[in-house]
Amino acid sequence: MKLFVLAAFSLLPILPPQSAVDAHTLEFIILNDDQTQTVEVEHGDFLFSAPTFTPRDNVVLTAWYDDEALTQWHDFDVPILASKTLYAEWRYRGTSVQPATIRASEVGERFASETMTLYFDLYEPLAYQVRYQWQAARVTEQQFEDIGGATLPSFSPYRNGRFQYRLEYKVPLYNDANLVVGSIPYYTAPIIIEIYGQQTYTLPIVLASFFALFLLVYYFQKKRAIYFDVAGGQPLPPEKFHVGEDTSLLPKAKKKGYRFVGWYYDQDYEFPFKGNRMPLKSMRLYAKFKPTLKK
């Protein structure tokens, strides 16, 4: 009988240790990221928090879920009874948590012109279709104004003085069909810096404006000449007029044996002079004569 029992037990399969059977694997995956971690937990034990992951700029890690669709929230207060995969995703860092930060190319508060650049390092998978607008305000004010043309993730301040700068970035809002239907504005925490040495163009612009005005006045005040071609008659000296001045009373040309008919713009006498205001430039007029009749 004892031999029969021993033989029966020898036919039973060899079971692995109880601890190996009861060990479960928890795999932590962050959507839109390449970070994953695996944790071994004994059956029935608790894992009260997720492992530590490398933080990303301007985003925060939300709660963990038991499904990839992120609909079933994972409760860390429940004992581990099976292996599973947990999912999480990055979300933009809202102002209620902590405003996003701006990275400066140099350390300090006062910089020479064209030496400082501000950067906004938004986590790349979340940066898709984000729109940027840099803004500035005086240190004593809270009303920020858009900086024209500053619509990139980086910006180099160019205005002399001490100002605070921030970035407005608009995140696309998607509907259930994954179509963009709007946007959500976020603002970074302001950074205060002082810029000096920027060349100002105010004085050259003012001087150039005065010089241009002087040239304009000189141009219009300078008299233009009317030259007279008398076609062999008695010479006439040119007469000068200001632009727009009345030129209707011009001298009459004289030529012996001829009668003066009038002034013309051309030598063929096709276009008679009818102007009564001096044009912008000098001109030449031609006298037309007709022979006088002898009695």
State the fold for domain 103-196.
Immunoglobulin-like (2.60.40)
Q: What is the CATH number of domain 224-291?
A: 2.60.40.4270
Structure token digits, residue 66: 């038991």
Question: What is the end-to-end Cα distance of the chain in Å, rounded?
Answer: 178
pTM metric for this prediction: 0.49
Label residue 151 left, alpha or beta by phi (over 0 means left) and psi (-120 to 50 means alpha). alpha
- Tell me how far the alpha carbon of residue 96 is from its chain's centroid: 27
Residue whose structure tokens are 């008398």: 230
- 14 has pLDDT over 80: no
Structure token digits, residue 135: 């803004």
- 279 has pLDDT over 60: yes
- 94 has pLDDT over 50: yes
CB count, 10 Å around CB of 134? 26
Which residues contact residue 150 at a Cβ distance below 8 angstroms, ignoring those fewer than 6 apart?
132, 133, 134
Partner residues linked to 42 by β-bridges: 23
Which residues contact residue 57 at a Cβ distance below 8 angstroms, ignoring those fewer than 6 apart?
100, 101, 103, 121, 122, 123
Task: Compute the average pLDDT of residues 286-295.
Answer: 83
E strand residue ranges, 32-174? 36-42, 59-61, 84-92, 103-104, 110-112, 118-119, 131-138, 145-146, 154-155, 161-174
Higher-scoring residue by pLDDT: 123, 80: 80
In sign, the C-alpha dihedral spanning 145, 151, 157, 159 is negative
Q: What is the pLDDT of residues 152-175, one digit of tens each?
A: 999 999 889 999 999 999 888 878
Structure token digits, residue 130: 């984000």
| The CATH number of domain 16-92 is 2.60.40.4270 | yes
| Residue type at position 159 | R
Partner residues linked to 61 by β-bridges: 90
- 208 has pLDDT over 70: yes
What is the pLDDT, as a whole number, of residue 1? 53
Structure token digits, residue 60: 């925060």
What is the pLDDT, as a whole number, of residue 152? 93
Residues of the chain with CATH 2.60.40.4270: 16-92, 224-291
- 244 has pLDDT over 60: yes
